[in-house]
Amino acid sequence: MAQFKIVTDSSSDVLKLDTTPFASAPLKIITANKEYVDDEHLNVEEMVNDLQGYKGRSSTSCPNAEDWLQTFGDADFVFCVTITGTLSGSYNSALSAKTIYEETYPDRKVFVLDSKSTGPEIALILEKLEELISENKDYDTICEEITNYCQSTRLLFMLESLKNLANNGRVNSLVAKMAGILGIRLVGKASIKGDLEPLNKCRGERKALEATVENMQKEGFGGGKVIIAHCFNISIANELKEMIVSQFPSSVIKIYSCRGLCSFYAEKGGFLIGFEAE
Ligand code: X90
């Protein structure tokens, strides 16, 4: 039996880890025609293209306790990181699963962490967990250190449309409208509370990128780890990377493309950026 296991939901965009047993609980994206399961089999490009031409209702659903229990499997200690509990029921389901698991196996423990975020900020947290485990730290120490680490990570995002967020009641419609104007991009952050906090309305991509880098600095970025997740906008992700490197040569930057859940909400052209603050 594995001693440690790391689990998360598909909002993290992470499908595998290098050195630690790992599982991910998929969220689902639902339209009147189709249900997309956000696991490793999902064809994200096809989903995003389907959705672009789709005019009907669409929604998402989070893992339930049973889904989470399946990811826990057989491990002495499970670290479970969820999408923000402020906008999703995933965190509460994970807590129910923890209760059931610990009652069933009194010797095992599950640490459930509400990331208050999504995507690349969760990815940073998972990388850190893997690092702490590989350093042979014990369960309690890892719980404490990962809780501290979360205080130092941040998430910013740039969105061209907030249609899906607004239609599903995840932002108020006023915020959604200002990003709906052609050519306006909304730059914002994951708030301390774990919801969307608008920061700047920018005309054009260039302005949005400049605002993003300025906000990173304001948030205390000094050249640490950065992960950029984009929804079919690799050129803007590369441009952002270059701007960051030129101002902070010590930064270590990764780029990847969003999986299903983040693609659904960030929409085509958008990006999310997770980073370490000082
Ligand atoms: O439970 C569910 O159905 C999932 C609901 C998720 C709602 C929010 C997803 C946001 C995805 C959009 C930009 C970043 C926002 C960060 C806020 C913490 C990405």
What is the distance between the alpha carbons of residues 132 and 138, in angstroms, rounded to a whole number?
9
When pLDDT is averaged across residues 130-149 and rounded to a whole number, the result is 97
The ligand 1 atom nearest the CA atom of 88: 1
Residue 90: pLDDT band with limits 50, 70, 90:
very high
The pLDDT, as a whole number, for residue 126 is 98
Distance in Å, CA 257 to ligand 1 centroid? 16
The length of the chain in residues reads 278
Distance in Å, CA 18 to ligand 1 centroid? 26
Of 183, 258, 198, the residue nearest 227 (C-alpha): 258
The neighbour count for residue 199, using CB atoms within 10 Å, is 18
The pLDDT, as a whole number, for residue 3 is 95
Distances (CA, A) of 226 to 20, 23, 31, 84, 229: 21, 23, 33, 20, 10
> Nearest 5°: phi and psi at 189?
-135, 160
When pLDDT is averaged across residues 39-50 and rounded to a whole number, the result is 97
The pLDDT, as a whole number, for residue 113 is 98
The pLDDT, as a whole number, for residue 31 is 96
The protein residue with its alpha carbon nearest to ligand 1, atom 13, reads: 266
Checking if the pLDDT of 177 tops 90, the result is: no
Distance in Å, CA 87 to ligand 1 centroid? 6
When pLDDT is averaged across residues 267-277 and rounded to a whole number, the result is 97
Checking if the pLDDT of 78 tops 80, the result is: yes
| Ligand 1 environment, Cβ below 6 A | 27, 60-62, 83-84, 87-90, 117-118, 155, 157, 170, 190, 194-196, 262, 265-266, 272
Residue 121 contacts residue 225 (beta carbons within 8 Å): no
> Nearest 5°: phi and psi at 105?
-125, 85
What is the distance between the alpha carbons of residues 73 and 108, in angstroms, rounded to a whole number?
11
What is the distance between the alpha carbons of residues 152 and 276, in angstroms, rounded to a whole number?
6
The protein residue with its alpha carbon nearest to ligand 1, atom 12, reads: 266
Angle at 164 between CA 95 and CA 50, to 5 degrees: 110
When pLDDT is averaged across residues 268-275 and rounded to a whole number, the result is 97
Checking if the pLDDT of 39 tops 80, the result is: yes
The pLDDT, as a whole number, for residue 278 is 86
Query: Hey, is 204 helix, strand or coil?
Result: coil
Q: pLDDT per residue over 47-77, tens digit each? A: 999 998 898 999 999 999 999 999 999 999 9
DSSP string, 87-143: T-SHHHHHHHHHHHHHHH-TT-EEEEEE-SS-HHHHHHHHHHHHHHHHTT--HHHHH
The pLDDT, as a whole number, for residue 176 is 74
Query: Which residue from 9, 10, 11 has its CB within 8 A of the most atoms of ligand 1, so it is best to mutate?
Result: 11
Could you tell me the two tokens for 219?
A: 């948030």
Checking if the pLDDT of 174 tops 80, the result is: no
When pLDDT is averaged across residues 223-228 and rounded to a whole number, the result is 97
Query: Which parts of the chain fold into alpha helices (H)?
Result: 44-52, 65-72, 90-104, 119-134, 139-151, 163-167, 173-180, 205-218, 234-247, 260-266
The pLDDT, as a whole number, for residue 180 is 66
Checking if the pLDDT of 157 tops 70, the result is: yes
Distance in Å, CA 36 to ligand 1 centroid? 16
Checking if the pLDDT of 132 tops 90, the result is: yes
Residues 6+ apart with CB under 8 A from 246: none
The protein residue with its alpha carbon nearest to ligand 1, atom 16, reads: 190
Distance in Å, CA 262 to ligand 1 centroid? 7
Residue 179: pLDDT band with limits 50, 70, 90:
low
Residues 6+ apart with CB under 8 A from 208: 158, 185, 187, 200, 202
What is the distance between the alpha carbons of residues 257 and 212, in angstroms, rounded to a whole number?
18
Distance in Å, CA 241 to ligand 1 centroid? 23
Distance in Å, CA 194 to ligand 1 centroid? 9
Distance in Å, CA 118 to ligand 1 centroid? 7
Distances (CA, A) of 17 to 14, 20, 22: 8, 6, 6
Checking if the pLDDT of 116 tops 80, the result is: yes
pLDDT averaged over the chain?
A: 95
Checking if the pLDDT of 237 tops 80, the result is: yes
Q: Phi-psi region for residue 232, left (φ > 0), alpha (ψ -120 to 50) or beta?
A: left
What is the distance between the alpha carbons of residues 46 and 249, in angstroms, rounded to a whole number?
37
The protein residue with its alpha carbon nearest to ligand 1, atom 15, reads: 196
The protein residue with its alpha carbon nearest to ligand 1, atom 14, reads: 157
